[in-house]
Amino acid sequence: MQKLTNQERLKPWMGIVLFAVLLALFLTVCTYMQEHWGMTGLVLTEVLFLAVAVGFCLIRKVSIKEVFPIKKVTVREIFGCLFLLLGGQGFSYVTVGLVGMLFPAWSSETAELSSFLYSGNALLAFLIVSVTPAICEEAIHRGAILSCFRSIKKDWVIVLIMGLLFGINHMSPLRFMATAILGGVLSFVVVKRNNILLSALMHFANNAFSALAGIYSAKTMASSSVAVSFTPDMFGIYLLMGFTAPVFLVLGWLMISPETHKKINFLFAGILSAVMFISGIAITVSGQLNKTIVNSTIGYEVTEDSKDALMDFSVEEARTYTVTVVMSCNKEAEYSFVMTDDDGNVLIDTEMSKGSAMRPFTTRLDLSEGLYHTEIRGGEGSVGDKPEIQIHVN
């Protein structure tokens, strides 16, 4: 990667320290601002990132033009960035689906984030989510922090480090891999083309797509369906959504950095894409063979006299089933989910942990033929609430 004219003023350890400072600010000052001031706090968080980036350059007395390099963009670079972005998004779908399947409790984060960002003015939310990170986060990550690593000889090491730091900075277990992939892709472009304008445009495009999807979901009340899709049999769909990712990444690599690209990369990409496609088909077909026997939504108002909701279902084939429950409710209300067989044996008795407006639960059970009973039990703080419960058994 191209070094600064006074690169000796910036060392890799400084990048780690700068990131640690950024993380400390995020966990303290920024968290406080967002919790107390909402979207205004989010904007101030981004402005603080920008201020830290510029302030670091001034303190270390390095050229701002070199730390934030802006150059003319070519058509080839635009297409290269587009392919890289599509490839990164494809792998992101797969990683989010995998993590959500393995750790279903984390999927509540999706609905909480959507509610925080898109419950108000849609246009304002779009601008805040799309524009400010493209400027401020790029300035601190692909600008100030990345410049500290320019002395590292191996470009892939820089890309790997920057991807991991970007993933950590988002403080999201569910989206860690997805944001790390995005951070790596954005860093790759800056490392190879030394043009932060490219990564800013890519960041804007990525967030704009997410913002439009979030706004649409909020308006159609479709956000709860996101959590339901984090089931083992649905992972095949995520693989099919992302199987073209390796090919797109290689195409983007070819257009962004043809001098470092090798033709054999297409062979490796093709093999990986084929594996992902075949695996996706196999998992999806397997899920279809295990037919869904319950796919119901229950909605009711909790009163002093009626705190519980009941639903029965029957099993006609003895085998292992996946039971998925997703509640949308007041985050301060207490609920539990209970499932029994027709003899009264308790198969599931779990608290749907409060503190979140979206509460998912997934488990696998060996069920015999017969009748089964499910019950949502309202607890403290539930009176007056109008929860919506989705129950899926397949």
pLDDT tens series, the chain, 394 aa: 899 999 999 999 999 999 999 999 999 999 999 989 989 999 999 999 999 999 999 999 999 999 999 999 999 999 999 999 999 999 998 998 888 777 766 666 666 666 667 667 888 889 999 999 999 999 999 999 999 999 999 999 999 999 999 999 998 888 899 999 999 999 999 999 999 999 999 999 999 998 888 787 666 544 444 344 566 667 888 999 999 999 999 999 999 999 999 999 999 999 999 999 999 999 888 776 667 788 888 888 999 888 888 999 999 989 888 888 888 888 888 999 999 999 999 999 999 877 777 788 888 899 999 999 999 999 988 999 999 888 888 8
Q: Where are the beta strands (DSSP E) in the chain?
A: 294-299, 308-315, 319-328, 335-341, 346-352, 358-367, 370-378, 388-393
Q: Look up tokens 């892939």; give the residue.
A: 156
What's residue 107's pLDDT?
63
Closest CA to 148 of 21, 20, 10: 10
**What backbone phi and psi angles, to 5 degrees, belong to 166?**
-65, -40
Token readout for 295 is: 């796919």
DSSP 313-334: EEE-S-EEEEEEEEEE--TT--
Q: What is the pLDDT of residue 356?
A: 73
Q: Rg of the chain's alpha carbons, rounded to an integer?
A: 24
Both tokens of 87, joined, read: 């490839």
* Model pLDDT, residue 225: 40
Interatomic CA distance for residues 264 and 34, integer angstroms: 47
CA dist., res. 171 & res. 192, Å (int)? 27
Strand partners, 364: 322
Question: Residue ranges per domain, the chain?
Answer: 7-286, 294-393
Reference 154, options 260, 227, 70; nearest CA is 260
CATH class of 294-393: mainly beta
Residue identified by tokens 């979030």 is 214
